[in-house]
Each structure stands twice: as structure tokens, then as C-alpha cells.
Structure 1
Amino acid sequence: MSASSHNVRLVLSTCPDPQTADALASSLVGERLAACVNVLPGVKSTYRWKGEVARDEEVLLLIKTTADRQEALVERLRALHPYELPEAVAVEAVGGLAAYLAWVAEQTRDDD
């Protein structure tokens, strides 16, 4: 598998609390859908939901995966997530340390 930066994705998702964030991170890494998940507490989100402006404190997940595993990761995230409509926004890596990009690809390899 190529270590190309175009193969690595950063998927962003928010969670309602640290326990949910930790459970999601463990599942995604454990299932090899993500190489690494950073959990950032203290995010304040303002958004429109069902016709009203809402404000919540959330926990942000920075999920590192590959293009090949992105769809499966998003499907699993949706299945495990408590939100009716979980955030799942993928950003393509346009550069980075080649060895790290190769590590992400290796850690998310589908061995099936």
C-alpha cells in the first residue's frame, strides 16, 4: 500500500462526553478502522438543529485513517455514535511525514 499523503484522511467527529469519545476511539482503533484517534475535550459547539440554535460542550475526535478505510470507518462511527446525526467530516492529507503516513496505512490495513 502506498504511503502517499493522498491516501491518508483525517476524520473529524464530535461526541457528547469523554466516556463516549473514549469508547469510540477504542473501538475504531481496535477494529483497525483508525490508526490513531486524538480526543480533545472542552470544545464549544454552536449549531442549528431542528430550527433552533443550540450550544453544547463536546469532545472532538481527530481520527486518522486511509481513503480505503474511510467509508467503513464512517459507517461504524454512525452505528456506535449516540447522536441522531453524528458529525463525520473527512479531510484529505496533502502532506506530512512519510514514515507517519506509512504507519497510518499499516495500522488500518484490512487483514480479512
Structure 2
Amino acid sequence: MEKKGLICECQDIHKDIIKNIKEKMYNEKLLIDLANFYKIFSDPTRLKIIYALLNTELCVCDIAEVLGMTQSAISHQLRLLRNYKIVKSYKKGKSVFYSLDDEHIYELLQTGISHHIEKK
């Protein structure tokens, strides 16, 4: 049995509303870039790395220890996160330290967590 309200039964196209939305719609390239940016958050290992960096900077070996993974595996994920400007790094002696690139990343993660918890 089909639920009422899931299919639009009217055939009227609201041209003024459609035109207004199309004028305000972001361009295709920006939307593709944004979709790719959000894909980076779809991997649990990358989310764990981001979460580990919420309050402090860490070197690769510390992140590997926290996550129980190899430095090689962590470095691979960090490279992706760095390419999308989610983390930044600097070298101190032989160690490379990572931190979140800016406050937006913290806010994105916290918003996602809050949304998930509220919807349970």
C-alpha cells in the first residue's frame, strides 16, 4: 500500500519559485567539490583521526598509537585530510605534527555528532 503524501499529485509547475531557486543555485563545480569534501568524512579511520585532533596537535606516531594502526596507514589518511585542508602540519625535528586546519572542521564534526545523537 502506498503512503499518502509521498508523491506529488498536482501537475502545476510553480515557475516563479523554480526560477528563483535556479538563480540562487550554486554552480555545478562548487557542488561537486563540496560533495567530494564531505566524502572525506565517510571513512571511520579519518573520523577517528579528526576526533583525536579536536583538542590537541599530535605527531603521526601518537595518532598511530591512539588508533592502534601503523604509521604508514595513518600517513596515508593524513595525506588525504591535508589535501582537503582538513588538517595542517608542521615539522619539528624528525617529527611531523598535525592539527585541525581551522575551527570549521571542529564545528562540522560536532554538528554531525549532535545531529546523530538527537535523531536516536
* TM-score under structure 1 length normalisation: 0.29
Structure scoring higher RCO (CA < 8 A, sep ≥ 6) equals: 1
* TM-score under structure 2 length normalisation: 0.27
Which has a greater percent of helix? Answer: 2
Which has a greater percent of strand? Answer: 1
